[in-house]
Amino acid sequence: MIRGPLPNAALAVAYFGEDISGPIALVDRALALNPSFARGWHISGILRVYAGEPELAIEHVQRSLRLSPRARVGWGSAVIGSALFLSRRFDEAVAKLLDAIQDEPGLPEAYRHLAACYAHMGRLDDARATVARLLSIAPVVVPSVIYYHNPEHRELFLSGLRLAAGEE
């Protein structure tokens, strides 16, 4: 049974590395060996967001939540919200990201995606209020490491954040 550091290592390599296929292959292998590994499905969802596969990300995180029904839902909601954001389903993303923030108020990425959502929706007052809340928990609005491997997704995220922060 695989429960150890393999999926966590894959996540770190994907976050900082250029190649997403290797980390995805590692997590897929772990899930093939243990299809009931909820954290593995969660990490697979994150990796699918990074890889530009938002629908698969949602499916994998939902599976993770079904396998671990007593787990806090904030992290899963944040990943699903990010995937919905990348799919430009901003209204649905806002709802999930607000759920994530309610359950886990210290998740900077949930605030970043929420601010970008609001900005792309033209809700600049809400975007700027979200940025203010973000700055109360994190020192940076636009992170230096952008983990999206799809250039269109990276630009969607960055343009929303810049607009929310008043940089455009």
Please state the domain extents for the chain.
Answer: 1-71, 90-168
Residues 6+ positions from 107 with CB-CB distance below 8 Å: 74, 75, 78, 100, 101
CATH class as words, domain 1-71: mainly alpha
Q: What is the mean pLDDT of residues 98-127?
A: 97
The neighbour count for residue 130, using CB atoms within 10 Å, is 27
**DSSP for residue 98:** H
**Residue 2 pLDDT class (50, 70, 90 cuts):** very low
Whether 1-71 shares its CATH topology with 90-168 is answered yes
Angle between helices 124-135 and 151-164 (to 10 degrees): 90
Rounded Cα gap, residues 139 and 92, in angstroms: 27
Reference 54, options 9, 113, 108; nearest CA is 113
**DSSP for residue 69:** T
Rounded Cα gap, residues 37 and 95, in angstroms: 27
CATH hierarchy code of domain 90-168: 1.25.40
pLDDT in tens, 46-104: 999 999 999 999 999 999 999 998 888 899 999 999 999 999 999 999 999 999 999 99
The pTM score is 0.91
